[in-house]
Amino acid sequence: VADGRTDDGFGIQFGVNHLGHFLLSCLLLDHLKEGSGGRVVTLSSMAYRWGSIDFASLITNKHLGTGRYSWQFFPAYCNSKLCNVLFTHELAKRLQGTNVTCYSVHPGVVRTELSRNVSLWQKVFIEPVARLLFLDPVAGAQTTLHCALQEGLEPLSGRYFSCCAVQDVCPKAKDDAMARKLWEVSERLSGLS
């Protein structure tokens, strides 16, 4: 959660939260298919619900929203998390008939260093709240580990998990046309096409 650009010019939240993971997953797919049942687990967030994707702006500006103040970072974060869920939705379609499955995950609100780039006055507010209400990293890892390790999840490929259980997503997070377009734009932006 920060303002700025990646070294290759992408908005930091789009570049780090979506495009980097998209590229890494795509580069590893052939190797995963050679194995005996690989899984791609994408860390998303329930914040995807408040996300949107302006494809024209994304292609032109290489970001999904940005701003100088931390309250402006949140929409860009939500947008990147919608990308995570849509990526998983489309990846599952592309993996049908293979031994590789994929899942997107909301780990819960976890005490991490997510706020390390916010201002001091915001840290003074966030840190005590985080200590009181947020999950510790071990508890926050459980849904991710569940999707990576639990036997029998294969029929749920492409689904979204929270609290170690499959959850329904809002309609925009399973929009086939939007997921396909995001895939195509991500391929172009990451140099895969």
**Which of the residues are catalytic?**
77
How far apart are alpha carbons 56 and 9 in whole angstroms?
Answer: 16
The CB-side HSE value for 114 (13 A sphere, CA atoms) comes to 18
Backbone angles phi and psi of 27, in degrees to 5: -70, -25
Residue 38 carries which DSSP code?
Answer: -
Which distant-in-sequence residues (6+ apart) come within 8 Å of 8 by Cβ? 15
Dihedral sign, Cα of residue 181, residue 183, residue 189, residue 193: negative
As given in the structure block, the two tokens for residue 54 are 């302006």
